[in-house]
Amino acid sequence: MKRPVAEIWMGWVRLLAVPFAAVEVAAFDIPEGFEIWAWALTAAFGVGAAVLLVLAYRASRASWHKIGFAALVFDAAVAYGYLFAFGFDPGTIRLVIFVPLVEAAVRYGLLGGLVMPAVSAVVLALHEWWRTTHVEGIDFDVDNVTFPVGVQLIVGVVVGSLVNGLREERKSASARAAEAEALRDALGRRADLLDATNRCARALSSSLELGQAFAAFIRELRGLVPFERTAIVLTEDGHLRVFATAGRAADTVFPPGTVVEVAGSALTELASGQALYREDMTERRFDEEDEFVRLGLRSRVLAPLLSGPETIGAIAVVRREPSAFSPDEIELLSLLGRLAGSAVQNIRAYEAERTTAEELRRLSALRADFVSLVSHE
């Protein structure tokens, strides 16, 4: 458990002040009527200081503020108690009232620096009246109240303002640190995303055959975005053809080679180029979702395969739980859809060029045979 460090060191300062208070009481030539109260107050000060130090070490986070407030009340009571115990002395003993003032300003900022002088004004007025009734030859002197209170007010405002300023700077520094940590995490996620994308891109480029390329791609995808089922579909002549599947019921429900109509399928909503996230397919929207729900699959992401602005197919990733995909996973699938779309176009272009080359070779062979035949004739 994290300890209240400030409360602990203040507890040690308070405890070390007890011997100093005892020396001061012993050194003063205290009249007989005041001496017993001074020693009793010092003993109470020692016991209270020890108790507060123990509480500071054992305090839970929820009780820190309560212990701090109790310590402030205790210190103020001790300081004002010494003021009354040394009421016969109008001199330096009055400086003790600045101890709870500074403590209040440190604990509560400007508010503490303003409230404590008000408390001191009441206590000093009572103390001045008490002196006039218990010490012979003393009259009530307003200056003994107004001057120390005025000085307290100035000190309280200065210290409290500084404390408030430091707290604001600390909050600002914490906010900047949190922002820097968030940026670091975001950069880390982006780096992971790029690394995952590169692996999938290498898988797609591992073969010039669509079936083999998609098989390698799905193997890589399984480690990046875990799924219960996945499928890759491409548009052909206004229809959808399933090119690759993996996972639950891959060979029985929409197996590779299945051709379905585009109308009524989820692909109708991928024309904008944005991924489609179906958080719960029990609320049926598309024809194929009945089959997935019967398999116990609830959530699905469809990322369009893009070739330029045109949607030429989709990657479908399905999971058992509803609302099972995170925004990062949806973003990754969208990026992979763009890569897969480019790979499909490249492979199709290669196949078209290979077909053309084979046709040219066939025509060249026919021409050679024809020329040979004509020459022979």
Q: What is the pLDDT of residues 205-220, one digit of tens each?
A: 666 676 777 777 787 7
**What whole-number percentage of the chain has pLDDT above 90?**
16
The pTM for the full model equals 0.54
Q: How confident is the model at residue 262 (pLDDT cuts 50, 70, 90)?
A: confident
pLDDT tens profile 178-205: 998 888 887 787 777 777 677 777 776 6
pLDDT tens profile 353-377: 666 767 777 777 777 666 666 676 6
Question: What is the reported pLDDT for 73?
Answer: 92
Which of 131 and 169 is assigned the larger pLDDT?
169
Which of 34 and 77 is assigned the larger pLDDT?
77
> Per-residue pLDDT averaged across 219-245, rounded?
83
Question: What is the reported pLDDT for 377?
Answer: 63
Q: How confident is the model at residue 226 (pLDDT cuts 50, 70, 90)?
A: confident
Distances (CA, A) of 188 to 75, 184, 272: 50, 6, 29
pLDDT tens profile 59-89: 777 788 888 889 899 999 998 888 888 776 6
pLDDT tens profile 10-25: 889 889 989 988 888 8
> Is the pLDDT confidence value at 141 over 90?
no
Q: What is the mean pLDDT of the chain?
A: 82
Question: What is the reported pLDDT for 338?
Answer: 80
> Per-residue pLDDT averaged across 307-325, rounded?
86
